[in-house]
Amino acid sequence: MGKRKASKRVRPTRRAAPLETTFTCLFCNHEKSVSCTLDKQSGVGNLHCKICGQSHQCIITALSAPIDVYSDWIDACDTVAHQGQDDKSGNADSAQAPAEHEGNYSGDEGY
The phi, psi pair for 2, rounded to 5°, reads: -95, 165
Sign of CA dihedral 68, 43, 102, 33: negative
Among candidate residues 58, 70, 65, the one with its CA nearest the CA of residue 102: 58
* Any domain includes 84: yes
Domain tally for the chain?
1
Give the pLDDT confidence of 17-54 residue by residue, as tens digits: 888 889 999 999 999 999 999 999 999 999 999 999 99
CATH number of the CATH domain containing 83: 2.20.25.190
Residues 22/34, Cβ–Cβ less than 8 Å: yes
Q: Which of 5-9, 81-85, 99-103, 106-110 has the highest mean pLDDT?
A: 81-85
Evaluate whether residue 111 is within a structural domain. no
Domain that holds residue 43: 22-88
Residue 79 lies in a domain: yes
- pLDDT tens-digit series, residues 59-70: 999 999 999 999
For residue 20, the model assigns a pLDDT of: 83
Residue 9 inside a domain? The answer is no
pLDDT in tens, 73-102: 999 999 999 988 887 776 545 445 555 555
pLDDT of residue 96: 54
Domain membership of residue 66 (yes or no) is: yes
68: Cβ–Cβ under 8 A, 6 or more apart, which residues? Answer: 45, 60, 103
Q: Is 68 inside any structural domain?
A: yes
Residue 45: how many other CB atoms lie within 10 Å? 23
